[in-house]
Amino acid sequence: MRKKHFGKVFAAAILALLMVVVTACGSGNNEGSSSSTNNGSSPSASPSTPEESPSAPLEKIKIKGIGHASWFKSGMDEVLIAAAEKTGIELEIEKIPEGMDGVNLVKARFATGDKPDLLFYYAGLGDTQGFGKMSDTFVSQEDQPWITNFDKESWKGIMTALEDGKYYGAPYGGSNTSVVLYNKKVFESLGLQVPTTMDEFWSVSEALKKGGKIPVYLSGKDAWTLQLPVQHAQATPSTAEILAKIDVNQAKFTDWTARNTGLQFLKDVTSKGLTNKDVLSDTYDNAQKALATGEAGMYIMATWVMTDIASKFPDQTADIGAFIMPYQGADADKSYIFAPNAVFVVKGKNEEAAQKFVNFFESLEAQNIFFGKDGGIPAIKGVTVTSLTPAELEAKAFLDACRASGDGFSMKYDINAAFPAYLQDIIIGGKTPEQVLEAQQKDYEKAAKAKDDSNFK
Amino acid sequence: MIKKMYYSYWLLLPGLLIFSVFFIYPNLTGFLYAFTNMDESFKYTRFVGFDNFKSLFQEDDQVIAFKNTFIFAIITTVFKIVLGLLLALLANAKLRTTLFFRSMLFFPVLLSTLAVSLVFSALLHPSRGLLNVFLETLHLDMLAQSWLTDPQIVIFSVSFVEIWKWTGLSMILFLAALQTIPQELKESAMVEGVNSWQMFRHITIPLIMPIVNTNVILSVIGGLKVFDIVYALTGGGPGNSSQVINTIVFKNFAAGRNGEATAANVMLFLIVLVIVLLVNKVLNRKVEG
């Protein structure tokens, strides 16, 4: 009798425990929204707090950030030291792999609730890109003091969230642009001129090959780097038009001719044998060395690589120049402009300290420290110290001459996680450019249907 | 009459609670989510029937993952068992170097997968890697391959690294089994005039059969569930040539397609369950026979 009674009590206890577990896990999902009342406009978020009372001892606060390893160079190292001294905030940065490996990792972290205090990520995030609703996840930067020193209008649509048009990310680093970086000494020694049409480009490449140089270096082991030739081809106003149509299911990826041009280039340059021998084993690091030492003639990349080259090969930095890939020729081509990356304050128990760090980072003092060491064109107004290399200055001249386009080209759904693998597929002959575009269309439809998008029913 | 004293069932409660939170609950919800289009926001989650499962078999890149998982599991299981047994026989021999030999063969098991992957990425580099340089030095250029970047052979290269890393574990298990065989049995067999092969075939193998069973099961499960070595060595590439089921799970999860990722995980669970039950049944029959 007693045994029977015990069995019932025991079963009831287990059931109750399971219910507690289920309820506890369920309520965890609401954590983000409940903390959303404490938004970025909290008074303690002001950067001036520590400076206002210099005699008061600074409270030491440790916060955590996460971002691609290559984004943190000597400029940021010095800013971290200054921030600890001036604000008492010690930021510990977790450096994650480049490209989609890092993106996958950070999205998986957010999906499982393992969030940092600061997210260093690409600007212009939206609600449908894997981080949840922007206003639930991140602190809005609209009312923060640093934003008065920032040209909000210029970066609207590029660095703002698609859904509410607000700035959730503060600029991290400078803006960059895609170019063909070339070794001027190699070009001079072989008597070559910068190509202005695709015919000239192929001729120059053949001449480089004949001269014992690698014409076009592709660092396919770091698959994200393969995106650059394609993005460069997309730097045309037609891209914005086609993307707007793809978003509402009135056009397909296969209609995106500019992307097709870039994909076709990757296929052609590989099949013509105008690249390094081991494209899929060679890395971003290998490419920098090959370009700087003159082993390679050209490398299609964004200007951010020049910071690395300048630190590793200071004596060769001036040998490198930049030109725009002549996909269309006749000066019709543009370089693809990349907005500054962004730093997002994640809502949570450390959001005040994280915001304080961001406000310090965006101050002129910190920006001058940062750009005194690292490259890129500052987005914060009034930065007086920069360290642009000759190649970056040449690239900047294209921007000044309005020969740049891009990065306003955001799409409603982020399907780029699979893109680098597709580009590797083109290199190994596993997919044609058309098949890649078809695969991307499928990915996009799947993403849209998952969000119950009425245009994709 | 002696009264038997039992511990109270209530003592099970803390353990059961932890087991429920970290195992039973996630697993049960996993089955449920596999039939939804759940994304990272949980906002649009609705029941989609078998769509996620269909999708797994409609896309070439995902079909490749299933094929690669089976190839990987079969190759690594066969080689780990055969090589593990041979090495165990060698390590069981009475030699002056036996201890050194055992330690050396077990050493790869202790290394981190990431470290092993980095070393092998360098060793298998097509032009600068030690393996191809060595082959070229011996004028065996025709054998030099793009080990990790040729889509035709990449899954075999990854399997080779897995075999190199884990054969030591099979060896140790076999070695433990070999050392339980009574010496008297072997001696009496020798008195009867049994040769080495007959001794191996009719005495050693039957007596270590339970360990063969364990080793095969462990290798099959490990092979089907592989993730780390593939992700660290190739990331599933080049392209999607070395994707396995677990890299697809990770990829879908990272793309916010949690429903599809969970469906792939459920498929993996069912595959492992069915194969392990079958293998276990076949091997147990042999043990009993």
- With beta carbons under 8 A apart, name residues in chain A contacting B237: 223, 280, 421, 424
pLDDT single digits (tens) A328-357: 987 889 899 888 999 999 999 999 999 999
Q: How far apart are the first and last CA of chain B?
A: 43
- Main-chain phi, psi angles of B94, to 5 degrees: -85, 90
Contact of A170 with A146, CB cutoff 8 Å: yes
pLDDT single digits (tens) A116-138: 999 999 998 888 888 888 999 99
Contact of A269 with A299, CB cutoff 8 Å: no
pLDDT single digits (tens) B230-269: 999 998 989 999 999 999 998 888 777 888 999 999 999 9
Residue of A nearest to B36 (CA): A450
Highest mean pLDDT: which range of A232-246, A272-286, B1-15 = A272-286
Q: Which two tokens stand for residue A388?
A: 């642009």
Cβ of residue A313 closer than 8 Å to a chain B Cβ = no
DSSP result, B173-197: HHHHHHTTS-HHHHHHHHHTT--HH
| Residue A201 pLDDT exceeds 90 | yes
Question: What CATH number corresponds to the domain at position B185?
Answer: 1.10.3720.10
CATH topology of domain A61-175+339-381: D-Maltodextrin-Binding Protein; domain 2 (3.40.190)
pLDDT > 90 in chain B, percent:
72
Q: What is the C-alpha separation between B40 and A129, in angstroms, rounded?
A: 9
Place of tokens 């490449």: A205
Mean pLDDT, residues A350-370: 96
> Of A171-175, A287-291, A423-427, where does mean pLDDT reach its minimum?
A171-175
Is B46 inside any structural domain?
yes
- Residue A408 pLDDT: 58
Domain count, chain B: 1
Instruction: Say how many C-beta atoms besides its own lie within 10 A of residue B164's C-beta.
Output: 14
C-alpha distances in Å from residue B62, one per residue of B116, B151, B273: 27, 15, 20
Q: What is the longest distance spanned by two Cα atoms in chain A?
A: 101
> Of A391-400, B167-176, B186-195, B251-260, where does mean pLDDT reach its minimum?
B251-260
| Residue B211 pLDDT exceeds 90 | yes
Mean pLDDT, residues A228-232: 95
- Which residues, listed in sequence order, are joined to residue A121 by a DSSP beta bridge? A342
CA proximity to B266, closest of B283, B278, B252, B284 = B252
Option in A17, A281, A450 nearest B149 (CB): A281
Contact of A281 with B148, CB cutoff 8 Å: yes
Mean pLDDT, residues A56-69: 89
Q: How would residue B1 be classed by pLDDT, with cut points 50, 70 and 90?
A: low
Is B193 inside any structural domain?
yes
Residue of B nearest to A26 (CA): B42
Q: What is the C-alpha separation between A177 and A232, in angstroms, rounded?
A: 9
Contact residues for A389 (Cβ-Cβ < 8 A; gap 6+): A306, A309, A310, A317, A318, A320, A375
Option in A6, A107, A425 nearest B240 (CB): A425
Q: How would residue A209 be classed by pLDDT, with cut points 50, 70 and 90?
A: very high
Question: How far is the alpha carbon of B127 from chain A, nearest alpha carbon, in Å?
Answer: 7
Cβ of residue B32 closer than 8 Å to a chain A Cβ = no
Contact of B69 with B224, CB cutoff 8 Å: yes
The counts of H helices and E strands in chain B are: 14, 0
Give the CATH superfamily of A176-338+408-456: Periplasmic binding protein-like II (3.40.190.10)
| Residue A26 pLDDT exceeds 50 | no
Q: How would residue B78 be classed by pLDDT, with cut points 50, 70 and 90?
A: very high
Angle, in degrees to the nearest 10, between helices B245-254 and B60-92: 130
Mean pLDDT, residues A162-170: 91
Mean pLDDT, residues B189-218: 92
| Residue A35 pLDDT exceeds 60 | no
Mean pLDDT (chain A, rounded)? 86
Contact of B213 with B287, CB cutoff 8 Å: yes
Contact of A398 with A337, CB cutoff 8 Å: no
A61-175+339-381 shares its CATH topology with A176-338+408-456 = yes
Mean pLDDT, residues B40-46: 73
Q: How would residue B3 be classed by pLDDT, with cut points 50, 70 and 90?
A: low
Is B276 inside any structural domain?
yes
> Of A30-44, A79-93, A413-427, where does mean pLDDT reach its minimum?
A30-44
Q: What is the C-alpha separation between A343 and A380, in angstroms, rounded?
A: 14
| Residue B65 pLDDT exceeds 80 | yes
Q: Which two tokens stand for residue B26?
A: 């996630």
Domain ranges (residues) in chain A: 61-175+339-381, 176-338+408-456
Is B36 inside any structural domain?
yes
Is B218 inside any structural domain?
yes
Name residues 99-158 of chain A within 8 A of B (Cβ). 101, 103-105, 107-108, 110-111, 127, 130-133
Do residue B126 and residue A277 have CB atoms under 8 angstroms apart? yes
Is B48 inside any structural domain?
yes
Is B61 inside any structural domain?
yes
pLDDT single digits (tens) B101-137: 899 999 999 999 999 999 999 999 998 899 999 999 9
Across the beta sheet with A89-96, the strand order is: A89-96, A61-68, A118-121, A341-345, A169-172
| Residue A32 pLDDT exceeds 50 | no
- Which residues, listed in sequence order, are joined to residue A65 by a DSSP beta bridge? A93, A118
| Residue A45 pLDDT exceeds 50 | no
Do residue A424 and residue B254 have CB atoms under 8 angstroms apart? no
Mean pLDDT, residues A365-379: 90
pLDDT single digits (tens) A293-317: 999 999 999 999 998 999 999 999 9
- Residue A25 pLDDT: 37
Name residues 415-434 of chain A within 8 A of B (Cβ). 415, 417-418, 421-422, 424-425, 427-428, 430-431
pLDDT single digits (tens) A243-286: 989 999 999 999 999 999 999 999 999 999 999 999 999 999 99
| Residue B18 pLDDT exceeds 90 | yes
| Residue A3 pLDDT exceeds 50 | no
CA proximity to A160, closest of A129, A134, A125 = A125
Do residue A103 and residue B37 have CB atoms under 8 angstroms apart? no
For residue B269, the enclosing domain spans 26-288
Mean pLDDT (chain B, rounded)? 91
Residue of A nearest to B243 (CA): A421
Q: What is the ipTM of this complex?
A: 0.81
Is B13 inside any structural domain?
no
Instruction: Say how many C-beta atoms besides its own lie within 10 A of residue B287's C-beta.
Output: 11
Do residue B237 and residue A278 have CB atoms under 8 angstroms apart? no
Pairing label, strands A341-345, A118-121 = antiparallel
Angle, in degrees to the nearest 10, between helices B154-178 and B113-123: 130
- With beta carbons under 8 A apart, name residues in chain A contacting B44: 450-452
Option in A13, A105, A446 nearest B257 (CB): A446
Q: How would residue A417 be classed by pLDDT, with cut points 50, 70 and 90?
A: confident
Mean pLDDT, residues A399-409: 73
